[in-house]
Chains A and B, each alone.
Chain A
Amino acid sequence: SKITLAIHGGAGTITRENMTPEKEKAYREKLNEALQVGYDVLKKGGTSMDAVEATIHVMENSPLFNAGKGAVFTNEGKNEMDAAMMDGETLQAGAVASVTTIKNPISAARAVMEKSPHVMMIGDGAEAFAKTQGIELVDPSYFHTETRYNQLQQIIDKEKTQLDHDGGSSSNENIFTEGNKFG
């Protein structure tokens, strides 16, 4: 069988130098778990859409990744998430953007694709639609993690420092670290 599944958990300045053994182990374990969950779906005859959704749930539910439970914070201190899915057989697609209460945004994206005539829904509307589809909604505090909140504070502090000392330049240092890109 050609059944195959691939995943990513974010890109950036991820090097051995800025990784502890414990952190690396945690990431490797969770990536392996996600792969296994998706592969099990495929092995049992599940569709690629089912496998993608189940795999992404594992990563959305982990605070290690910038999605779902580990989402980064906006300037206003909110967790605002986006997701999309596409079916290669039918070329149907669905997406949600700027949602704050949908536990697994990937499932909402799939619902937009399969249960509506639209491709993308945003914000409150997307959340209201998700509710009609029985998709689990949570209090926004579910997404709060101290690590991500501290990242926001550090970036806000950094900006203040730059403004105080050199308003004309901005450092690109670590800008592409997953979860450390800033707007």
Chain B
Amino acid sequence: TVGCVALDAYGNLAAGTSTGGMTNKRFGRVGDAPIIGAGTYADNNTCAVSATGHGEYFIRNVVAYDIAALMKYKNLSVKKAAEEVVMKKLVDRGGEGGVIALDKNGNVAMPFNSAGMYRGYIKNGKPVVAIYR
């Protein structure tokens, strides 16, 4: 699953996610990527989020919106909100994967609870790419 979140010069956030889903899937199974609030979410007042991982868990835990909700209602930073959802809530419930999240000030969070996640960000023209934990 690939995803991207961006903040433009006008202060607007956007999120996108695209995936081939799960190998050997049957019965028209759909994961979290196209489910707004589960695998993809964006709100200028909070953050933009794209997720990758075991979709069923991300749907049941409404992961992308949950991160935004923690920022909105509990005033958490994007980093704390994303960590709370991916490293605590999702782990407790057996969901494996990660997210990229970006707030209106350009703060990036990229937590994942799997062994690795292909990820990167670019800020001030400097790209940073990482794969492993």
Chain A residues in the interface with B (C-beta under 8 A): 1-16, 19, 24, 27-28, 31-32, 34-36, 38-39, 42-43, 45-49, 51-53, 55-56, 59-60, 65-68, 70-76, 79-89, 91, 93, 95-98, 104-106, 109-110, 119-120, 122, 143, 148, 151-152, 155-156, 159, 175-176, 178-183
Contact A35–B127 (Cβ < 8 Å): yes
Closest A residue, CB atoms, query B110: A6
The residues of B that contact A60 with a CB separation of less than 8 Å are 2, 18
Chain B nearest Cβ from A84, distance in angstroms: 4
The residues of A that contact B114 with a CB separation of less than 8 Å are 11-14, 176
Q: Which 10 A-B pairs have the closest CB atoms?
A: A71-B20, A14-B116, A9-B118, A88-B13, A183-B25, A88-B42, A48-B14, A95-B34, A11-B117, A59-B2
Contact B20–A80 (Cβ < 8 Å): yes
The residues of B that contact A151 with a CB separation of less than 8 Å are 23
Q: A4-B121, A82-B31, A88-B42 are in contact. Are A176 and B97 (CB under 8 A)?
A: yes
Q: A11-B112, A47-B12, A48-B6 are in contact. Are A182 and B121 (CB under 8 A)?
A: no
Please name 13 further chain A to chain B contacts, defined as beta carbons within 8 Å, in addition to the given A5-B122, A67-B18, A84-B39, sorted by A numbering. Answer: A2-B105, A3-B123, A5-B6, A6-B122, A10-B1, A10-B52, A19-B131, A38-B6, A47-B14, A67-B20, A81-B18, A104-B18, A181-B22
A-B contact list, 10 entries, CB within 8 Å:
A8-B1, A14-B118, A27-B131, A32-B120, A42-B6, A82-B21, A86-B40, A87-B42, A95-B36, A182-B24
Closest A residue, CB atoms, query B98: A11
Q: A12-B116, A95-B36 are in contact. Are A180 and B23 (CB under 8 A)?
A: yes
Chain B residues in the interface with A (C-beta under 8 A): 1-26, 28-31, 33-36, 39-44, 48, 50, 52-54, 96-102, 104-106, 108, 110, 112, 114-123, 125, 127, 129, 131-132
A-B pairs with beta carbons under 8 A, tally: 316
The residues of B that contact A11 with a CB separation of less than 8 Å are 1, 52-53, 96-98, 112, 114, 116-118
The residues of B that contact A181 with a CB separation of less than 8 Å are 22-23, 54
Main secondary structure of the interface of A (DSSP, over half): mixed
Contact A15–B116 (Cβ < 8 Å): yes
- In whole angstroms, how far apart are the Cα atoms of A183 and B25 in the complex? 4
Contact B19–A83 (Cβ < 8 Å): yes
Q: A16-B132, A67-B19 are in contact. Are A7 and B2 (CB under 8 A)?
A: yes
The residues of B that contact A159 with a CB separation of less than 8 Å are 24
- In whole angstroms, how far apart are the Cα atoms of A104 and B16 in the complex? 12
The residues of A that contact B36 with a CB separation of less than 8 Å are 84, 86, 93, 95, 119-120
Q: Which of A12, A59, A76 contacts B18 (CB 8 A)?
A: A59
Contact B3–A51 (Cβ < 8 Å): no
Contact B26–A87 (Cβ < 8 Å): no
The residues of A that contact B3 with a CB separation of less than 8 Å are 7-8, 56
